[in-house]
């Protein structure tokens, strides 16, 4: 249970730059407990997820490179679950951001693209460095 709490907090931080709300943590742990009986976990996927959390690697950047293999990795499922739970929560601020004016919109696009390219660059290096394929 502690590993799942650490996992959800780290992945939430990777996605939103903030700690996960208690409600999201509880739902994530509950969902994983329910799913554990019905889904067989690939040991390589579990090792990759564990390595990412323990070494504090760039989960967002790594997920892109793992997804390119054509198979849905456990990391993808976990990140998508956190995004879904956060989006369904009406209190999650990242889904209520409003940018006004063309200059603000342009700035948001440039910042977003810069972050995305940085995630891809760092993620690719970490995939190779820690043999996460």
Residues with Cβ < 8 Å from 15, sequence gap 6 or more?
Answer: 59, 60, 79, 82, 83, 86
Range of the domain at 35: 2-129
Q: pLDDT for 33-90, tens place per residue?
A: 877 666 777 888 889 999 999 999 999 999 999 988 777 889 999 999 999 999 888 7
Alpha carbon distance 16, 20 (integer Å) = 9
Confidence at residue 37, expressed as pLDDT on a 0 to 100 scale:
67
Q: Which of 121, 85, 6, 86 is nearest to 53 (CA)?
A: 6
Provide the domain count of the chain.
1
pTM, full prediction: 0.88
> Tell me, what's the pLDDT at 127?
94
pLDDT at residue 1 in the model: 55
């Amino acid at each position: 249970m502690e590993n799942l709490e650490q996992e959800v907090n780290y992945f939430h931080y990777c996605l939103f730059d903030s700690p996960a709300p208690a409600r999201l943590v509880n739902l994530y742990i509950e969902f994983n407990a329910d799913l554990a009986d019905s889904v067989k976990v690939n040991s390589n996927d579990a090792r990759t997820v564990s390595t990412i959390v323990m070494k504090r690697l760039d989960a967002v950047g790594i997920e892109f490179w793992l997804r390119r293999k054509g198979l849905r990795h456990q990391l993808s499922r976990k990140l998508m679950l956190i995004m879904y739970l956060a989006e369904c929560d009406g209190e999650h601020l990242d889904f209520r951001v409003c940018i006004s004016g063309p200059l603000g919109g342009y700035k948001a696009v440039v910042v977003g693209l810069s972050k995305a390219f940085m995630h891809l660059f760092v993620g690719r290096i970490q995939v190779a460095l820690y043999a996460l394929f």
